[in-house]
Chain A
Amino acid sequence: MSAATLTPPLNLEADSRISLRSHIRHTGALVRRNLLWIRQDPESMFDAVLMPIVFTLLFVYVFGGSIGQALGGGQDQYVQYVVPGMMAMMSMNIAMAVGTGFNQDFQNGIMDRFRTLPIGQGSVLFAKIVVELMRLLIATTIMMIVGILVGFDITNWPGLFAAVGLTALFGTSIMWIFLVLGVVMKSAQAVQGMGFLVLMPLQFGSSIFAPTQSMPGWLQAFTDYNPLSSLADSARGLMVGGPVTHDVWVTVIWSAVLTLVMAPIAIHKFRTKN
């Protein structure tokens, strides 16, 4: 072999700033990496595929009868209530996986490789977000199909797309939080443990699964400010009708604020991790 193969293909005179096109190309290469993972290890899609089926069926058939009655109807009434709510639940459950996966990358040396390449360091995180958003869309689609099969009746189809978009927006902001945890925490198990600790009270202390009117006052105060309540109520209003403007705005503002605060922290922590 001649030395010819070792001459640098790089443009060393290039400006040190990274163009948007390069950013997109780098992110694309890393997205491809994560998609290849799925091909290599299809079980990693289990949560996105099975969770929406299992949870939708469980909630509808276990709680549907009694909560539906309380809502002044039956199981059908609860389906109309809980299916949009589950969309909000998905946004969080899927987001948690981004943190554990990211943390695992640090356990082997591949992150050192990425961090010594002349790429915008944000690309590594953007790629994770893109892949998780794809998983979130798959999970949401499956959930909607199961929901429709068990009787969910969408009265406003354009609203479905708005609700999915809002879920993706909010999900992204949660992913940034989990990316911060993924960088900062010592092990993937710790990220998961921490995730559940935050996830459970937020999900159950919201209007996702049951109306909040019968909850004690202190809990209602919490659920009213819980962004998951706003997201669930928005999704409901958008798909089956009802007032939505306020909840949509609250959800958008929460998402924007969380993203604007957490994304720079995540990128900074990633860049400066020792």
Chain B
Amino acid sequence: MTRIDKKPPHSGDGGRTASVTVRGLVKHYGETKALDGVDLDVHEGTVMGVLGPNGAGKTTLVRCLSTLITPDSGTAFVAGYDVAKQPRQLRRVIGLTGQYAAVDEKLSGRENLYMIGRLLDLSRKESRSRADALLERFSLTDAATRPAKTYSGGMRRRLDLAASMIGSPAVLYLDEPTTGLDPRTRNEVWSEVKRMVGDGVTVLLTTQYMEEAEQLADELTVIDRGKVIAGGAIDDLKAKVGGRTLRIRPADPLELRPLAAALDDMGLTGLATSTVDAEAGAVLVPILSDEQLTAVVGAVTARGITIGSIATELPSLDEVFLSITGQKASAPQDDTRTSELEGAAV
């Protein structure tokens, strides 16, 4: 790889850091409070995951921070620039990859990247070499001359990421970067994001998937109905929620309450108590290890309760919400990823 740039990374405006600071951000759409006083801190070089259901305000937040919409009140600084007062300087240091790939479908991959280079004031030569470098990096060289509309979903998303990287942004927003992608493509996007993070880019990532946040984020902010409802280091939050959730359905529905009581008596996790999902006739209990799984099964059997089915799940967004707020998330979830041990519990 040839070295194509000369300037030091993220020199910013007189050595400001590439952090994001949001205070009391409010954005209303008529009666709807898309953002209802959001505070957020993303430290330089880290990945902040913003987790929330559809309609929680994630996209509104990203659009405010990328100058696409003006907040009603509150302040936001990105790399030291005021979102409201210095939009143009701010645009020089950010990159945005949205839910919908922001590429020109009629242009080839190379033409897309070349155009962005020119719009970012690179010379023709620089634009060309940078486009080629990024095409190579994102494994799009073979498709470089084909119109983007012939690309697969994953290729489009990679081209979109490449387009965001032309300007070598200090801060990158990824708005649900893998929504709508199949698992294999999702892994591709994740590894690309990890590489960018490795290069020291500060990332604000919005997602509906706990799994995605776990893969990519250092810290997590959970938002719902335009409000921050929890936040912190991802391990702390995970501990609070439980690494995995065990879903146990007793063979006899009447044993649901006794089962829940038995699990609570165990005091097993000490982190979160079990939850009864009466509709599904199952008890949910957070566990942190395989040993605990074995212990739970042993304890339940010892009480003489017959297990109908048992399954472990990564905490879905719903479970995160349940354990944080005791309420279901405001919008229905389309995604629970279950690895079943036996039977069909869900």
Contact = CB atoms under 8 A, between A and B. Distances in A.
Interface of A: 1-14, 16, 18, 22, 25-26, 28-30, 32-33, 36-37, 40-41, 108-119, 272, 274
Interface string B219-252: 0000000000000000000000000000000000
B194 interface: no
Given A4-B4, A9-B120, A117-B120, 16 more contacts: A2-B3, A5-B5, A5-B133, A5-B134, A8-B168, A9-B5, A10-B120, A11-B121, A12-B13, A25-B121, A29-B115, A29-B119, A112-B98, A113-B96, A116-B91, A117-B119
B67 A115 contact: yes
Interface of B: 1, 3-13, 63, 66-70, 86, 88-89, 91-94, 96, 98, 100-107, 111, 115-116, 118-122, 126, 130, 133-134, 137, 147, 160, 163, 165, 167-170, 196, 199-201
Contacts of A26: 118-119
A41 B147 CA distance: 11
A33 B118 CA distance: 11
Contact of A5 (B1, B8, B118, B170): B1
Contact of B121 (A4, A10, A37, A109): A10
Nearest to B121: A22
22 contacts: A2-B1, A3-B199, A4-B5, A5-B134, A6-B165, A7-B6, A8-B10, A8-B169, A10-B167, A10-B168, A12-B12, A13-B11, A22-B121, A36-B106, A37-B106, A108-B102, A110-B102, A115-B67, A116-B66, A116-B67, A116-B91, A118-B91
A272 B70 contact: yes
Contacts of A2: 1, 3
Most B C-beta atoms less than 10 A away, residue of A9, A115, A274: A9
A40 B107 CA distance: 8
A67 to B, nearest CB: 42
A14 B107 CA distance: 30
Contacts of A119: 119
Contacts of A33: 104, 107, 111, 115
Nearest to B12: A12
A7 B8 CA distance: 6
A13 B170 CA distance: 14
B62 to A, nearest CB: 10
Contacts of B168: 6-10
Which 4 A-B pairs rank lowest in CB-CB distance, beginning with the nearest?
A: A109-B102, A29-B118, A8-B168, A113-B102
Nearest to A105: B104
B106 A40 contact: yes
A12 B89 CA distance: 8
Nearest to A17: B88
Nearest to B1: A1
